[in-house]
Structure 1
């Protein structure tokens, strides 16, 4: 990534300025809310909004054109290759200010998000600061998905999903980071279409930088609206996580191996149930049936108990019985596929 020819802005000792970078593709439902939440930020002396526009096929481009015409701080830059990692590198290269704020098109920033993050960067000396993704749904289905996002039962308990104490972290949701150290490590890995943020933060830490979790930074995230979209999203996410497992082997948190392990157990259980009638002897078939049923019974009991304990309405809890297995199994299937074969050519937005 090279330097943009425009003159770079520099921060004075008490001057808060940032470049917001937003990768976008087919986000007509959410992009305006995301951009408005950036424009409404308080406490910054200066900022710009860089939107990296993929080749959308819905009404996204028209919304971006209108927003850019309304506010000169917005720049829309084409991202014909669509990938998020490429979009981020383009945005970092184009950024005028020394601090970059990553924004997801599904997110809504609180009013003091950027100013608070910049102060945390200064106070901690970290390279990257992030907070908690607080998923919020509107429909009952979206509320069930949001519950899964916010609970260890859904996404495994990463601090940026469930919350925790301020301090160094393995990764950060979105991220507010210093531009120069990020350029020094080569930016985002453009060979990755998902999981690029985790790998990016891993390289920051390996280079001696600090990734910091700040629980005061809480960003609203809008989850997928239906089962089909959820399956596509989680399969794509799992597939790229499988690619990272292929690269790094056991250097990954244990939680990433749980969904593929669950899927393997259920497939093995199904195989035992199918072959049990052909087992020889009077006792052996029943052992096979018991062994085959066990992963279904254990997972089913855990699922039912989890849904019953959720502090949600009955309609949302009922939907959790479909949402949680969808999240786990779609992610697990994608992960196994990514381990077996590189997902090269499978774009991050395929799950949108």
Structure 2
């Protein structure tokens, strides 16, 4: 067991933060990284800025602290995977931790992740997310994103009371060994790059642990418009993950597209059945969404209609995005390369 008094006993950890236009949250998210109870001399922090225009860079500069290895680099590619790969080429750590600009990790996050990895339990570890919102709409969205009805069986959003091995983890810590084996993130994927990467890790034999003592807080979108855009992109880019790794898909990911398909079919049948199919489908979905919204908003009844609206926004946006992706990427149904990885290297 390591002696906390001997800082050199702890492995060097690189924390990577890909951000873009996170001026509202960067003090909170980066501040949480800087306030870790892990020896600061054993931390390397790399903030990768996707060419922000809202003052994010200036806030990062102001947060620099003496004695902390904090590096701010550009991400001309703007999207998350190009930023992650740029940071990985500079990473020195034996452990690599990815943190988001909308995330606030607990003070012991890094220490607990290191403990799990060093015990040999897993090659990657993350924890359950506490999704929160600032403002009534954001609070409703946060409730919907934490509900099994909203996100299906997504363990890191819905399981909080037990440790288990999972398909994917949010804001993970990985051993450097497994990262070097997997190679870079897929820079085609604007969204869903974590799902694709974690699938490649599991194909290599990696075990991904959801540990209840590894805690993080995620700040949800604050408007239905931004939630729609987020889930539209999730559905759209999930098609490319499906094309590259069919075995990565789970049944829950097909439910929203099937729901949208059912709406389309019922709408076509409406002139012939008087709209009864469409009405029945709408009533069944509405009753389910309202019942789940009542449960999620039981301690705050005024949230109930907004939670139900958040459910519908997430499901319709994801389903429509998936169908748009099927049309857009229809010519790209071809096998991925034999190793199930992307070309390139994380080494500089």
Q: TM-score range by the shorter chain?
A: 0.7 to 0.9
Deviations, residues 252-305 of structure 1 (Å, cap 9, x unaligned): 1000001111111112222222x23xxxxxxxx45xx32232211110111111
Distance apart, 1:225 and its partner CA: 0.9
Question: Is the 1:131–1:160 contact (alpha carbons within 8 Å) kept by the matching residues of 2?
Answer: yes
Distance 1:292 1:125, change over 3 A: closer
Distance 1:122 1:308, change over 3 A: same
Distance apart, 1:149 and its partner CA: 1.4
What pairs with 1:319-330 in structure 2 (closer than 5 Å)?
319-330=306-317
Question: Is the 1:259–1:331 contact (alpha carbons within 8 Å) kept by the matching residues of 2?
Answer: yes
Residue in structure 1 matching 2:114, options 107, 111, 118: 118
Deviations, residues 51-93 of structure 1 (Å, cap 9, x unaligned): 0011112121221222237674211010011121111111122
Q: Hey, what does 1:337 align to over in structure 2?
A: 324
Question: Is the 1:242–1:337 contact (alpha carbons within 8 Å) kept by the matching residues of 2?
Answer: no
Distance apart, 1:119 and its partner CA: 0.2
Question: 2:294 aligned with 1:308, yes or no?
Answer: yes
Q: Hey, what does 1:149 align to over in structure 2?
A: 145
Q: Hey, what does 2:54 align to over in structure 1?
A: 58
Q: Hey, what does 1:3 align to over in structure 2?
A: none
Deviations, residues 156-178 of structure 1 (Å, cap 9, x unaligned): 12111111531321111110011
Distance 1:251 1:60, change over 3 A: closer
**Superposition CA RMSD, Å:** 2.1
Residue in structure 2 matching 1:255, options 239, 252, 255: 252
What pairs with 1:16-95 in structure 2 (closer than 5 Å)?
16-44=11-39, 46-68=42-64, 72-95=68-91
Give the structure-1-normalised TM-score. Answer: 0.86
Q: Hey, what does 2:191 align to over in structure 1?
A: 194
What pairs with 1:149-188 in structure 2 (closer than 5 Å)?
149-164=145-160, 165-188=162-185
Question: Is the 2:199–2:248 contact (alpha carbons within 8 Å) kept by the matching residues of 1?
Answer: no
Question: Is the 2:124–2:207 contact (alpha carbons within 8 Å) kept by the matching residues of 1?
Answer: yes
Distance apart, 1:109 and its partner CA: 0.6
Partner Cα separation in structure 2 for residue 312 and residue 237 of structure 1: 30
Question: Is the 1:18–1:99 contact (alpha carbons within 8 Å) kept by the matching residues of 2?
Answer: yes
Partner Cα separation in structure 2 for residue 109 and residue 246 of structure 1: 33
Partner Cα separation in structure 2 for residue 330 and residue 297 of structure 1: 19
Question: Is the 2:103–2:218 contact (alpha carbons within 8 Å) kept by the matching residues of 1?
Answer: yes
Q: Hey, what does 2:343 align to over in structure 1?
A: none
Count of matched residue pairs: 323
Matched residue SS, 1:94:
coil
Partner Cα separation in structure 1 for residue 326 and residue 67 of structure 2: 45
Question: 2:285 aligned with 1:299, yes or no?
Answer: yes
Matched residue SS, 2:37:
coil
Question: Is the 2:127–2:156 contact (alpha carbons within 8 Å) kept by the matching residues of 1?
Answer: yes
Question: 2:217 aligned with 1:220, yes or no?
Answer: yes
Question: Is the 2:8–2:42 contact (alpha carbons within 8 Å) kept by the matching residues of 1?
Answer: no
**Which is greater in Rg?**
1
Gaps of 5+ in 1: 1-10, 277-284, 345-352
Question: 2:99 aligned with 1:100, yes or no?
Answer: no
Question: Is the 1:243–1:343 contact (alpha carbons within 8 Å) kept by the matching residues of 2?
Answer: no
Question: Is the 1:26–1:59 contact (alpha carbons within 8 Å) kept by the matching residues of 2?
Answer: yes
Question: Is the 1:23–1:87 contact (alpha carbons within 8 Å) kept by the matching residues of 2?
Answer: yes
Partner Cα separation in structure 2 for residue 123 and residue 317 of structure 1: 43
